[in-house]
Amino acid sequence: MTTVDNTAISSRPNWLALDKLGILIALLALAGTVAPFALFRANRIVLGEPRSVFEALPGFSAGVLAVVLLGGFLIALLRLPRRTKLVGGFVVLAALFIAIGQSASFLTPEGDTFARVSPGAGFWLLVFAFALLVTDALTRLRFKPLVRIAILVAVIAAIALLLWSGAWNQLSMLKEYGTRAAAFWTEGRTHLVLAFGSVAIATLIGVPVGIFCYKIRPARAAVLNTLNIVQTIPSIALFGLLIAPLAWVAANVPGASEIGISGIGAAPALVALFAYSLLPIVSNTVVGLLSVSPAAVDAAKGMGMTNRQRLMAVELPLAFPVILTGLRIVLVQNIGLATIAALIGGGGFGVFVFQGIGQTAMDLVLLGAVPTVVLAFAAAVVLDAAIEMTSRGGRRP
Amino acid sequence: MIEIDNITKTYDATAVVDQVTLTIEPRTICVIVGTSGSGKTTLMRMINKLVKPTSGHIRIDGEDIGTIHAYELRRRIGYAIQGHGLFPHRTVGQNIATVPKLLGWDKAKTADRVDELLSLFQLDPGQFRDRLPHELSGGQQQRVGVARALAAKPNILLMDEPYGALDPVIRAKAQEDLLNIQRRFGTTVVLVTHDMEEAIHLGDKIAVMDKGKLLQFAQPSEIISRPATPFVAELIGTSERPFRLLSLAKVADHIETGAVDGQPIDAKASLRDAYAELLWSGRPALPVQRDGQIVGQVTLAALSRLAARPQ
């Protein structure tokens, strides 16, 4: 009898079992289908009226989306191969992104330029649920670094295609963009300069300081503690604190105001972001150098490398992945923090966030927030891949 | 020739190496043996100026090393350490080429030398040159470490517990390799170990150290038969002495005339191996063969005499 039972159990297909994370994803997705898919507002600041999937889309599209969602729901729930889950997740996300654009065109009355259609809680929940499915599958599939970057590029290209094709033009966020296109790109450039510029300067200064702390032991504690204190100052306070000294420099140092230094604006923002970047870069440089195998360092000395040769040929290359990890931390951190620069007139995507808060226009807040998140995410993926490539010993001169 | 002249190294008023004087003859293997903390590694590291002596002088071929730049001196001296110290981000070939590159050898000469050394250590150049150290076994990594130390054809090779991390079988193989290479190139080897067995097996001369002092510097047979202090005797292991003495000589040097039956032993084996075989097989004598020919016998009675303390 038991033999028969055993056969029955083992002959049950593997994929019919439930996936634990899949249950959570399915619950989120279920909540997402119940919550309103889109919000309709007669103008940009009134409260939105909820619209369900079937109200927000023409009948045929709503049907297609429902079928795709049902498929995605099952793919998440069942223990299917990870590649199937990955592809399924991408298909659902693509369907959601196309549908939200379509619903915007569908809900906006012909010729009405005041009406605003924005994604509702349901849309966001669904996106979150299936993004979770995709990232989980990606993590578990352990793709090679270059493959991960290729996937990132493909996703960005797909989003760019949607934007370029005009499929999203009726969405509230893009209507906000439409009235501010020039400002959007200017602020975007400022944002990049603030985030990448501060990290670049911090790297140029932080790595040598880290090497100094590594070589001269007594300096280590003093330097790291000082930088630690800087790190504890709240960001808004630090932005504010720099106004007075930089204003003084601008007024008293010849040539300072000509190169753009002033009490408010981009200069104090850059200085503050730079100050925040120093600790992770310096400490990761020190930790990275300290983690180099003592045997390799001893061998380098014993074979007659000079201090400089040892640093350039052995210590820095071996510490590089750890230093790069520090860079990844500050780059992602600064892309986010740079939004606050807008508070002291430093520009960046934060300008839209704060304008949006002031006008209670959430679409405008999103216009600043979404590109920031996408930038930070892309930077994290690219640098993670770079760290993996350099630490695998796959480096050849 | 390495002349160590009354050398002392103190850290915070404690003498780690205390007034050591010894002369290492060219083309010999000198093993410095001692427990941990005996100062043996510090003594060796003063030869290539990794440690600066507090007082005393070291001369290499008559030249005081105090007058040579540390990095120039080190490029002339091979250096191999426990755990090999290979650069994990560089290929086997690049690792071996380290010192030739520092010395500015041209590419073709360096590449030839790398392949020559790999072949010498039984590593196929085509297969191993472009691998990374972590793709090699422990024994292979250790061989690459020694090959790297020999890359620029140094007259002197310093080795700090080079076989400490190897299992007994691979260690025995590595020790044979070292003996062969030392004979072939006539390198002067200074090797630090805590293993007396290794010291007796490899050393032309053994320097025994304890608490910074050089207790005895002599040939292995002398150390075994006439230990200078009770500590030296203890390091050898009193119950091991007869066998250690036997391990120093080859069967070839003690062949007697006469013929016996049974499984022969090779003339190249050590007397210790012959003695073990005699005891194990319960025979009073073994036939000795050389190049497949029986050339005589070795007897239990003779070996027992040879194992006794020399008078």
Nearest CA in chain A to B101: A305
Distance in Å, alpha carbon of A222 to nearest chain B alpha carbon: 26
Residue A10 has pLDDT above 60, yes or no: no
The interface predicted TM-score of the complex, written ipTM, equals 0.86
Map tokens 């292995």 to a residue. Answer: B220
Nearest CA in chain A to B152: A303
One-letter amino acid of A43 = N
What are the chain A neighbours of B72 within 8 Å (beta carbons)?
Answer: 304
Long-range contacts at A347-353 (CB < 8 A, ≥ 24 apart): A347/A186, A347/A187, A347/A190, A347/A191, A347/A194, A347/A265, A347/A266, A347/A269, A348/A187, A348/A190, A348/A191, A348/A194, A348/A269, A349/A187, A349/A188, A349/A191, A350/A191, A351/A183, A351/A187, A352/A176, A352/A180, A352/A184, A352/A187
* CB pair distance less than 8 Å for A295 and B73: no
Nearest to B79 among A302, A309, A396 (CB): A302
What are the chain A neighbours of B142 within 8 Å (beta carbons)?
Answer: none
What are the chain A neighbours of B79 within 8 Å (beta carbons)?
Answer: 299, 302-303
DSSP state of A341: G
Residue A397 has pLDDT above 60, yes or no: no
The whole-angstrom separation of Cα A371 and Cα A359 is 20
At residue B140, the pLDDT reads 93
Backbone angles phi, psi at B134, to 5 degrees: -70, -10
Distance in Å, alpha carbon of A205 to nearest chain B alpha carbon: 26
What are the chain A neighbours of B149 within 8 Å (beta carbons)?
Answer: 303
The whole-angstrom separation of Cα B128 and Cα B125 is 5
What are the chain B neighbours of A306 within 8 Å (beta carbons)?
Answer: 71
* CB pair distance less than 8 Å for B87 and A299: yes
Nearest CA in chain B to A321: B89
The whole-angstrom separation of Cα A100 and Cα A119 is 7
pLDDT tens profile B126-166: 999 999 999 999 899 999 999 999 999 999 999 999 988 78
Interface test with A, best of B82, B90, B101 (most A CBs within 10 A): B90
The whole-angstrom separation of Cα B184 and Cα A49 is 91
* CB pair distance less than 8 Å for A318 and B83: no
Nearest CA in chain B to A315: B87
At residue A328, the pLDDT reads 94
Distance in Å, alpha carbon of B201 to nearest chain A alpha carbon: 26
Nearest CA in chain B to A320: B89
What are the chain A neighbours of B76 within 8 Å (beta carbons)?
Answer: 304
The whole-angstrom separation of Cα A238 and Cα A223 is 19
The model's pTM: 0.81
* CB pair distance less than 8 Å for B82 and A393: no
pLDDT tens profile B26-70: 999 999 999 988 999 999 999 999 999 999 999 999 999 999 999
Structure tokens at A206: 């932080």
Nearest CA in chain B to A391: B89
What are the chain B neighbours of A389 within 8 Å (beta carbons)?
Answer: none
Nearest CA in chain B to A306: B71
SS (H, E, C) A68-79: HHHHHHHHHHEC
At residue A4, the pLDDT reads 45
Structure tokens at B240: 């091991």
CB pairs under 8 A between A and B: 68
Distance in Å, alpha carbon of A321 to nearest chain B alpha carbon: 11
A250-259, A319-328, B132-141: the lowest-pLDDT one: A250-259
* CB pair distance less than 8 Å for A298 and B48: no
Q: In A, what residues contact B, Cβ < 8 A?
A: 293, 295-296, 298-306, 309, 313-314, 317-318, 393, 395-397
At A184, the pLDDT band (50, 70, 90 cuts) reads very high
* CB pair distance less than 8 Å for B74 and A298: no
Distance in Å, alpha carbon of A379 to nearest chain B alpha carbon: 25
What are the chain A neighbours of B83 within 8 Å (beta carbons)?
Answer: 295
Backbone angles phi, psi at B256, to 5 degrees: -105, 160
pLDDT tens profile B281-311: 988 899 999 888 888 899 998 888 888 887 7
Backbone CA torsion sign across B105, B109, B111, B112: negative
* CB pair distance less than 8 Å for A393 and B132: yes
The whole-angstrom separation of Cα B144 and Cα B97 is 11
* Helix or strand holding residue B184 (H, E): helix B168-185
Residue B176 has pLDDT above 70, yes or no: yes
Distance in Å, alpha carbon of B124 to nearest chain A alpha carbon: 21
Provide the 10 A C-beta neighbour count for residue A185: 10
Tell me what the mean pLDDT of segment B250-266 comes to.
Answer: 87
The whole-angstrom separation of Cα A384 and Cα A315 is 21
Residue A5 has pLDDT above 50, yes or no: no
pLDDT tens profile B97-123: 999 999 999 999 999 999 999 999 999
Instruction: Spell out the residues 6+ positions from residue A385 whose beta carbon is closer than 8 angstroms to its own.
Output: A145, A146, A148, A149
At residue A15, the pLDDT reads 66
* CB pair distance less than 8 Å for B87 and A318: yes
Interface test with B, best of A303, A307, A311 (most B CBs within 10 A): A303
Angstrom CA distances, B244 to A125, A355, B34, B199, B214, stand at 79, 88, 17, 11, 22
At A228, the pLDDT band (50, 70, 90 cuts) reads confident
User: Quick check: B237 and B196 in contact, CB under 8 A?
Assistant: yes
* CB pair distance less than 8 Å for B98 and A303: yes
Tell me what the mean pLDDT of segment B225-231 comes to.
Answer: 91
pLDDT tens profile A98-108: 999 999 989 88
Distance in Å, alpha carbon of B274 to nearest chain A alpha carbon: 40
Nearest CA in chain B to A294: B85
The whole-angstrom separation of Cα B164 and Cα B191 is 12
User: Quick check: A329 and A167 in contact, CB under 8 A?
Assistant: no
Helices marked H in A216-242: 217-232, 235-241
Tell me what the mean pLDDT of segment A37-56 comes to.
Answer: 86
Nearest CA in chain A to B71: A304
What are the chain B neighbours of A314 within 8 Å (beta carbons)?
Answer: 87
Nearest to A295 among B70, B72, B84 (CB): B84
DSSP state of A312: I
Task: Tell me the residue length of chain B.
Answer: 311
